[in-house]
Amino acid sequence: MKQQLLNNLKNIYGWKTKRKIVVISVDDYGNVRLDSKAARKAMDKAGLKVHTRFDAFDTLETTQDLEVLFETLTSVKDVNGNHAVFTPFALPCNIDFEKMQQEGYQEYHYELLPVTYEKLSLKDTNAYNKTWKLWKEGMTKGLMAPQFHGREHFNLKVFKEKLKKRDKEVFTALNNRSYTSIEDTGYKSISLTAAFEFWKFEENNDFNEILMDGLNRFEEVYGYKAIHFNPPGGREHPVIHKTLKEKGVKYIDTPFIKQEHQGEGNYKKVINYTGKKNKLGMIYQVRNVVFEPTHNRGFNWVDYTYKQIEAAFRWHRPAIISSHRVNFCGYIEEDNRKIGIKALRELLKRIVTKWPDVEFMSASELGNLITKNKG
Ligand SMILES: [Zn+2]
């Protein structure tokens, strides 16, 4: 009952369309969070805990992960003859673990994603051989339409402070080519993975350079300029939107109810909807459907997600599905990927069966439609 109410509530305001549009926005692609099974084991032994399924399973996507995913996305077709498409909110950079280790963890160094893949293909050829080539094929075939999820998926201020303090947990993680299982950041307003969270408001100034460099790196890695942004790990303050806009970003993902941090633990509640514009004229997208099939919450995820899509269409809204890469990761446990992929396959089948006039599109294509107001 409560869930049904929320499903409807999320759809009361916003851009309207008679078309049955389904967008699948999936965060975290390109990010190295957990390196491998061996790394997890070594971190367990050193006392680093698994707090979430991300700590347990969220590895950089492997060749097998992508093969199974692409096969699933192409298992259905929409009214225009197009298969389903993921909009991965993706990262272009990862920690250069080797260089940092060589220097004794003095300062932060990053590397570009293709370099990461090159290194990993030597370390585990079976999992990572030609993965980047496959990734690019996925883009060419219209299965993956990546947009910007930041330069790196963690808070750099916290990272640098922990390096300076010679933090044991961080060193253990880094020694295992990982950055996960660390809970305490030292700030109640900043979580470890949130690149654009802050304590003092002026810390927002430091984000401009990260965004500018990150967007350049995104173009370098993925081959085109990003026009759509979803911040990694936590919500940004709109003061950083100016830089995003100057670099060509037009669309921003934001929650229905946003607790917007104003600095030093003060929050302002902001209500959002798809089609709402910020002061700079950039368009917001609110994900109105949740799909996290490997998060065991004691219900059937396919039913749960399907009902939310139904609610969106009832209100003549596009269905913008929110998900995370971890649902489709099988490098640590193949069963984790099996659960996620099976649910995805079932969901897609149900969508095309129930709504033969459905249209799959990427999140930025939807943004373009809203801009032209082509409902
Ligand atoms: Zn993320």
pLDDT score, position 7: 83
Considering the chain, what percentage of its residues have pLDDT values greater than 90?
96
Confidence of residue 314 (pLDDT cuts 50, 70, 90): very high
How far, in Å, from the CA of 149 to the mean position of ligand 1? 7
What's the CA-to-centroid distance between 305 and ligand 1, angstroms?
A: 20
Q: How many CA atoms lie within 13 A of 294 on its CB side?
A: 24
- How many whole angstroms from 234 Cα to the centroid of ligand 1? 8
Asked whether the predicted pLDDT for residue 215 surpasses 80, the reply is: yes
Q: pLDDT tens digit string along 221-264?
A: 999 999 999 999 989 999 999 999 999 999 999 999 999 999 99
Q: Which contiguous run of DSSP H or E holds residue 9? A: helix 2-9
Kindly give the distance from the C-alpha atom of residue 299 to the centroid of ligand 1, in angstroms, as a whole number.
24
Q: Rounded to whole angstroms, how far apart are CA atoms 140 and 299?
A: 36
Q: What is the distance in A from the centroid of ligand 1 to the CA of 235?
A: 11
State which residues form the domain around 174: 2-372
60 Cα to the center of ligand 1, angstroms? 13
pLDDT at 375: 65
CB atoms within 10 A of CB 226: 24
CA–centroid distance, 128 to ligand 1, in Å, is 21
What CATH number does the domain containing 330 carry?
Answer: 3.20.20.370
- Residue-wise pLDDT for 6-62, tens only, equals 888 889 899 999 999 999 999 999 999 999 999 999 999 999 999 999 999 999 999
CA of 353 to the centre of ligand 1 (A): 31
Secondary structure class of 24 (helix, strand, coil): strand
Tell me the CA–centroid distance for residue 47 and ligand 1, in Å: 25
Q: Looking at residues 307-316, what average pLDDT do you find? A: 97
| Ion ligand 1: residue ranges with CB closer than 5 A | 27-28, 232
What is the number of domains present in the chain? 1
For residue 179, pLDDT over 90 is answered with: yes
Report, as an integer, the average pLDDT of 300-327: 97
Specify the pLDDT at position 4.
82
Residue 366 banded pLDDT, cuts 50, 70, 90: very high
Q: What is the pLDDT of residue 269?
A: 97
Query: What is the mean predicted confidence (pLDDT) over 116-139?
Result: 97
Instruction: Look at residue 374 and tell me whether its pLDDT is greater than 80.
Output: no
What does the pLDDT average to over 60-74?
98
Q: Is the pLDDT reported for residue 3 higher than 70?
A: yes
How close is the Cα of 233 to the center of ligand 1, in Å? 5
CB 184 within 8 A of CB 117: no
The rounded distance, in Å, linking the Cα atoms of 26 and 263 is 29
Q: Which two tokens stand for residue 160?
A: 């640098």
Helix/strand number for the chain, H first, E second: 15, 13
For residue 325, the CA-to-ligand 1 centroid distance in Å is 9
> What is the 79 CA–ligand 1 centroid distance (Å)?
31
pTM of the model: 0.97
What average pLDDT does the segment 54-79 reach?
98
**Distance between CA atoms of residues 304 and 4, nearest Å:** 10
Q: For the chain, give the percent of residues with pLDDT over 70.
A: 99
**Distance of alpha carbon 19 from alpha carbon 319, whole angstroms:** 10
Name the token pair of 202: 């002026």
- Using the mean position of ligand 1's atoms as its centre, give its distance from the Cα of residue 355 in Å: 30
Sign of CA dihedral 115, 120, 126, 127: negative
For residue 84, the model assigns a pLDDT of 98
Distance between Cα 90 and ligand 1 center (Å): 8
Mean pLDDT within 258-285: 97
Partners of residue 25 on adjacent β-strands: 87, 322
Distance 153 CA to ligand 1 centre (A): 7
Quote the ligand 1 centre to 5 CA distance (angstroms): 27
